[in-house]
Chain A
Amino acid sequence: MARRKATNAGKNGSGAKLGFEEKLWAAADKMRGHMDAAEYKHVALGLIFLKYISDAFQERYDALQKEPHADPEDRDEYTAENVFWVPREARWKALQDNAKQADIGKRVDLAMEAIEKENPSLKGVLPKDYARPTLDQTRLGELIDLIGTIELVYREDADLFDGKRDHRSKDLLGRVYEYFLGKFASAEGKAGGEFYTPESVVRLLVEMIEPYKGRVLDPCCGSGGMFVQSESFVEAHGGRKTDLSIFGQESNPTTWKLCRMNLAIRGIEANLGQVHADSFHNDQHKDLRADFILANPPFNVSDWGGDRLREDARWQHGPPPAGNANFAWVQHFLAHLGPKGVAGFVLANGSMSSNQSGEGEIRRRIVEADLVDCMIALPGQLFYTTGIPACLWFLARNKGNGKFRDRRGETLFIDARKLGHLVDRTHRELSAEEIARIARAYHAWRGEPDAGHYADVPGFCKAATLEEIAAHGFVLTPGRYVGAEDVEDDGEPFEVKIERLLEKLEGQFAECQALEGAIRDNLKGLGNAT
């Protein structure tokens, strides 16, 4: 397929580029010196967060000053508007004024502490080690100056944006945050993918399951990308943020904090559990039955402590192997799926066909329980963690619940391996049109009224029955079902085409004779140099 232009992809995606993120990233990245990307991530993202809540505060502050009889220093005025209260010493201006001071790190730490103290919901979330000796304080000051320019850029380019100011600036910072998250994932390489799922994959998951209203769960939520996209999906379809209740869990403590900051910036309220915790051993939402589950669990985790969990109510379809967590995740999702719930998640390709350690048996039982709604094979190179191609699973608790067409005994297979375009040498992305094409096939098959009529497309999608899946030994790789693409017929009738080819051949025979003669003549002219 033809390579698409990177700029077009940006325009079409919701991750529209603002034009200056790259500059900001380059400048910020230059400053990181000898620091590890993983470490530097927390330094930069913490500051962007600080800048964000300080800006939001300042905006409210300015508004209150104009209001008669209002006291801009009254904290209730802020909490009422869902704006974090920022104490004087923690406001961005105070920090930027002192950016050149040798003790700037200490000042940032104090600001973070003060904000946490004033806003219990942020307790224990913000990074507070800016004064550590290994962090170059001059560079830190430069970084603060740089992040301080985000607002300036917004003003210069004010014409580019329309809508209300508060909405714009919030979105601007949010997008910069998201952009940096993605860039860090890319810069960290293998490890970076753990806290970040590429936007086009998240968008595909969200567009597929359409979380309009209800409870959304991601039990391995990373930095919270699934929630951000779910919220924007609701808003894009005219809903309100409060239509969704969000539940998440994350075992990595720093990622858990990152997620809370990410959601705070977006103004998204979420229950991320009391603490960062492992979903298998310390489920933070034990009794939750979700309407939507979205997840990108780490691939093929071998040390998930499965040997300590041989007996568990979640393993309805058989105990998952101790050496691979894939089917532990699948069954964890199923255990949390409400009566009309749909789960969409990413897994390594092996999950579709493996027969080791009882995985084939679990898969067979899940298929026989008629839970598999749709399977998608993805192109390679979509993820930062691995070049190995992955797939998407969609499970539905009840395919005949009346919400959509009764599709019991049927599963939709989509082979998207040929889609996507390279955005750099090693990373691929799905375009907005491609995401829409895949989701439309699923929605049409589910019988959604606006999605049009469903039809199998050889090489792309195929609705298969349970019998067909059984005939394939319960292997769920879409390629086996959708078959090969119809070879494009050039439309030229046989008799015309063969006539044309034979004529061409005669011409080439004639050319052949002429050339043979020329070569003979030419070689005759060769002799020894004397």
Chain B
Amino acid sequence: MRVRVGSLVSSGKLVINDGYRVTNRELGSTGIPFVRGGDIGDGSITTDVVDHILPEHRDRVRNKLTKPDDVAFISKGTVGRVGYLRPDQPEVVFAPQVCYWRVINQGCIHPRFLYYMLTGPEFQANLHAVKTHGSMVADYVSLADQHAFVLTLPPIDIQADIGRILGSLDDKIDLNRRMNATLEAIARTLFRSWFLDFDPVRAKMEGRQPPVIDSETAALFPSSFADSSLGPIPEGWAVGPLLDQAGLISGGTPKTSESAYWDGGIPWASAKDVSQCGDAFLINTERSITDLGLANSSTKIIPKLSTVVVARGATTGRFTMFGGDIAMNQTCYALRSRTGHHFYLNSLFRELVDDLIHAAHGSVFDTITTTTFERAKVILPPPEVQTCFELRVSSLFGRVLANLNESRTLVALRDTLLPKLLSGEVRVKHAEQLVESRP
């Protein structure tokens, strides 16, 4: 059914509204989250934001309140990015650059389907057609423009199926994200307990059984402390240079003017790839190079599981682990464990990086240099303790990487299915499925 958006609104099935023109004095650290365009990501909306509409102004923003199940998109600026406010998220108020659509009659429009429809080609083409292009002013699509859009709305049961199919993929992607946070927190908690707080040593010193670990592991820890240049450390442990533990590898960029060097089969990470990778592993790079490019430049293949850190510029100190063999730009340094304890090294680096950035505080921009690494001293637990830690966390990190790879596949699957489902080219065999899923 082809339908004009304005008629959905006038018949009370859909509400369209824009954000709230907030004044500074209405903002504070408590109240209703005030969400800006930048907080709308790829499908998700960040509601854990700094600015809030203060509770005393709640009445003023009442008709701008956005509720779970609403779909929002940027209508001014980088027009088009869409987010879905999930049922477990709070009510928010959007900035004026953001519009939201709310389903009133769920018998006519399925809310999650609506979200997918707004990310789909038909709606995006509508946006693209009316937004102002290339002039001095920011791209903009008005509420009136939106009312004039014409959309294809399948019957409600088809909508529900599409919403459920794509929704289950997105739910799994979201679960993977949450599970990875848990897995990383476990690894970090264990590292801090063993190597920063020395919980097992403390317990043994006090004659207690070290918490949570088995007696075999506990036997690896001493029961007293000794002084060191880094403060008290477990007896028998040492302090030494970071670079005794890890080799430092630098990168490079093949000549960009040489097209034969680029777009090949070797992923090549820029500082942007590394700094914008919010995950424990980088598995995907924006650009890639050819064997020829690799041979004719100073860039090298950095082996999988190396820890890579941005060394220059505004994002100095952001780091990640390479989830595969990846070549790298010269703005980054890679640390490669000399003993194969890649996850131990990565965990160690996480606790060390703030100090490195502080030491790097330079004249204009913070810069980490080889000297910064050369000077860094770390506590060196005996190899068997490192090995024990490595064994325990490698399955955790392994699952994190597997989840990231799975999510990448799920995204590809979703993006392939979405236009086909919306256009009806691929259809859900609705009746058949009903029969199948009956117990």
Contact = CB atoms under 8 A, between A and B. Distances in A.
Most chain B CB atoms below 10 A, which of A6, A477, A484:
A484
Contacts of B24: 5-7
Most chain B CB atoms below 10 A, which of A348, A352, A494:
A494
A312 interface: no
Given A494-B212, A523-B165, A515 B172 contact: yes
Closest 9 pairs between A and B when the two form their complex, measured CB to CB: A479-B361, A484-B354, A525-B433, A495-B211, A350-B363, A529-B427, A6-B24, A508-B179, A494-B193
Given A349-B364, A494-B197, A508 B426 contact: no
Nearest to A3: B50
Contact of B171 (A494, A515, A521, A527): A515
Main secondary structure of the interface of B (DSSP, over half): helix
Nearest to A477: B361
B182 A484 contact: no
Give the interface size class of chain B.
35 or more
A524 B437 CA distance: 11
A519 interface: yes
B364 A350 contact: yes
Interface of A: 2-3, 5-7, 348-350, 352-354, 377, 388, 459, 477-480, 482-485, 487, 494-495, 497-499, 501-502, 504-505, 508-509, 511-512, 515-516, 518-519, 521-529
Main secondary structure of the interface of A (DSSP, over half): helix
B49 to A, nearest CB: 10
A485 B358 CA distance: 10
Given A484-B354, A495-B211, A522 B168 contact: yes
Contacts of B51: 3
A505 B426 contact: no
Contacts of B183: 505
A10 to B, nearest CB: 10
Given A485-B354, A498-B186, A515 B175 contact: yes
Nearest to A388: B364
B432 interface: yes
Contacts of A5: 24-25, 27-28
B428 A526 contact: yes
Interface in B17-43: 24-25, 27-29
Contacts of A484: 354-355, 357-358
12 contacts: A349-B363, A350-B364, A377-B361, A388-B364, A498-B186, A498-B212, A512-B175, A521-B436, A521-B437, A522-B165, A525-B432, A526-B426
Nearest to B355: A484
Most chain A CB atoms below 10 A, which of B185, B189, B361:
B361
Contacts of B182: 501, 504-505, 508
Interface in B165-221: 165, 168-169, 171-172, 175, 178-179, 182-183, 185-186, 189-190, 192-193, 197, 199, 211-212
B185 A501 contact: yes
Given A509-B179, A525-B432, 6 more contacts: A5-B28, A512-B179, A519-B172, A524-B433, A525-B430, A527-B428
A527 B426 contact: yes
Contacts of A529: 424-427
A508 B186 contact: no
A494 B425 contact: no
B347 to A, nearest CB: 14
Nearest to B193: A494
Contact of A525 (B29, B197, B363, B429): B429
Contacts of A478: 361
Given A484-B354, A495-B212, A522-B165, A527 B172 contact: no
A12 B412 CA distance: 53
B226 interface: no
Contacts of A495: 211-212
A352 B168 contact: no
B363 to A, nearest CB: 4
Contacts of B212: 494-495, 498-499
A502 B197 CA distance: 20
B204 to A, nearest CB: 14
B56 to A, nearest CB: 13
A511 B171 CA distance: 10
Nearest to B417: A526
A487 B354 CA distance: 10
Most chain B CB atoms below 10 A, which of A497, A501, A527:
A501
A479 B355 CA distance: 9
A350 B361 CA distance: 11
B190 A528 contact: no
